Amino acid sequence: SYELTQPSSVSVSPGQTARITCSGDVLAKKYARWFQQKPGQAPVLVIYKDSERPSGIPERFSGSSSGTTVTLTISGAQVEDEADYYCYSAADTKMVFGGGTKLTVL
Amino acid sequence: EVQLVESGGGLVQPGRSLRLSCTASGFTFGDYAMSWVRQAPGKGLEWVGFIRSKAYGGTTEYAASVKGRFTISRDDSKSIAYLQMNSLKTEDTAVYYCTREGITDDYWGQGTLVTVSS
Taking CB atoms and an 8 Å cutoff, what residues of chain B touch A99? Answer: 44
Residue B81's identity, in one-letter code, is A
pLDDT tens-digit profile of B6-53? 999 999 999 999 999 999 999 999 999 999 999 999 999 999 999 999
Residue A1 in this model has a pLDDT that exceeds 70: no
* Inter-residue contact A101 to A9 (CB < 8 Å): yes
Q: What is the mean pLDDT of chain B?
A: 96
pLDDT tens-digit profile of A47-98? 999 999 999 999 999 999 999 999 999 999 999 999 999 999 988 888 999 9
Question: Chain B within 8 Å of A30 (Cβ-Cβ)?
Answer: no
- Which residues 6+ apart lie within 8 Å of B42 measured at CB? none
Q: Are strands B10-12 and A101-105 parallel, antiparallel or unpaired?
A: unpaired
Beta bridge partners of A46: none
Taking CB atoms and an 8 Å cutoff, what residues of chain A touch B108? Answer: 42-44
Half-sphere exposure (CA, 13 Å, Cβ side) for A93? 10
Beta bridge partners of A61: A74
